[in-house]
Amino acid sequence: MHDKAKIWVEGGAGGNGCISFRREAHVPRGGPNGGDGGHGGAAVLICDPSRRDLGALRGSKHFRAGRGGHGEGSNRHGARGEDELILVPAGTQATAVDGSRVDLVEAGQRAVAAHGGRGGHGNKRFATSTRRAPRFAERGTAGEAGWIEVRLKLLADVGLVGLPNAGKSSLLGRLTRAAPKVADYPFTTLSPVLGTIEGEDRQAVLADIPGLIEGAAGGAGLGHEFLAHVERCAMLVHVIDLAPLEGEPAVSYEAVRGELSAYGAGLERLPELVVLSKRDLLPGERVEAAVEEWQRRLGDSATGVLAVSSATGEGIEALRRRILAELPEAPVVPAEGRGEEAAEFEAEHRVYRPVGEGGYSIEHEEDGGFRVAGRGVELLFERYDLSNEEALAYLESRLNEIGVVAALRAAGFEPGDDVRVGEHEFELRP
């Protein structure tokens, strides 16, 4: 099972605006009619319930959305770039390129991993009563791009936990129609396996979590990877071997509880049903004594203690009924306080707000020049052709409007001083 993948996502670039003027016979001095460029497509994660793991993402690691079409004359706007759709299974989590959390748990849910760039305005947009024939247009901006890690956390109601060879796989096979690998050596299960219990009026999905060892929460073995799958469970079934080849059952229980607590996602607070496995290896009176002893030891910290045998089927039906009865009536989503955020659907509109006062900062550099830093100001310089005198005049007016020129003067700027914005350097004479 592939539960982690690293992929490159890239939104499409926006199309450039067009510089065009109306030219028709017998229509002198036709006005500007350059169309806008189209917005770039986005790289979008989509929850597909038919997917079971992230194996498909490991072979194809680069996902690029289509770029927006350029604007054309006669007020024709460029087409929006096509989105790149990335199908992932339910339970997928990721962090988008812009830093937002993505958590997909419902079929058809969408989340943008990398937004496309914005299309540039054509020269028609810049026509005013005093600027009747603008000979400049905006360039489209680049889309977001970057490597993101996609992780899968199983959507299971109940997690079967315990030390290696405690009998979890055999128990899952008895309780459900799942067919996990079963053998007489530890670490037989190398990836989580799902199975379903059917009741009269409800259903429960069980996940067989591969055996945990001491230090799993800190990365020992593969336990840390497997513990992530328990985060979405609403209940734990802790399987303990009644007749282990080595070690004491009580010590084994405390070891697993310690790893659940050390993982730090609130797993130790989940309701827990303790199951003593392999009861067929002990006489009946010793099994009854063990159940009573465990009930006294755990008290109210566990919802119950049952003894079962996967080999003979003894106690399996009672366990099935108990799981369905004890399972909390709650959706399988990250609980509040476990360090997760609620899943959000793709927003139809994005709101941009300036960062800090004015959204930019002014720095007087050692050589006497001034550097203007701020994404909004840098974006202005990316969108216009600095070799075009009309574009430069418009850009200067925009710098005046948003207060950059006034801020430069307050910092000691004199006309003719060098000003740097991003990779651009120029003399400013407002």
pLDDT of residue 106: 86
Q: What's the topology of domain 1-152?
A: Spo0b-associated Gtp-binding Protein; Chain: A, (2.70.210)
The structure tokens listed for 53 are: 């793991």
Which residue ranges does the chain devote to CATH 3.40.50.300? Answer: 158-326
Query: CA angle, corner 92, sides to 90 and 95, nearest 5?
Result: 150
Which residue ranges does the chain devote to CATH 3.30.300.350? Answer: 361-427
Band of residue 211 on the pLDDT scale cut at 50, 70, 90: low
- Provide the whole-model pTM: 0.68
Q: What's the topology of domain 361-427?
A: GMP Synthetase; Chain A, domain 3 (3.30.300)
| CA 366 – CA 78 distance, rounded (Å) | 45
pLDDT at residue 347 tops 70: no
pLDDT of residue 152: 83
The CATH code for residues 158-326 is: 3.40.50.300
Which residue ranges does the chain devote to CATH 2.70.210.12? Answer: 1-152
pLDDT of residue 187: 41
52-109: pLDDT as tens digits: 778 788 777 899 999 999 999 999 999 999 999 999 988 898 999 988 888 898 889 9
118-158: pLDDT as tens digits: 999 999 999 998 898 999 999 999 999 999 999 887 777 88
pLDDT of residue 244: 84
Band of residue 309 on the pLDDT scale cut at 50, 70, 90: very high
pLDDT at residue 368 tops 60: yes
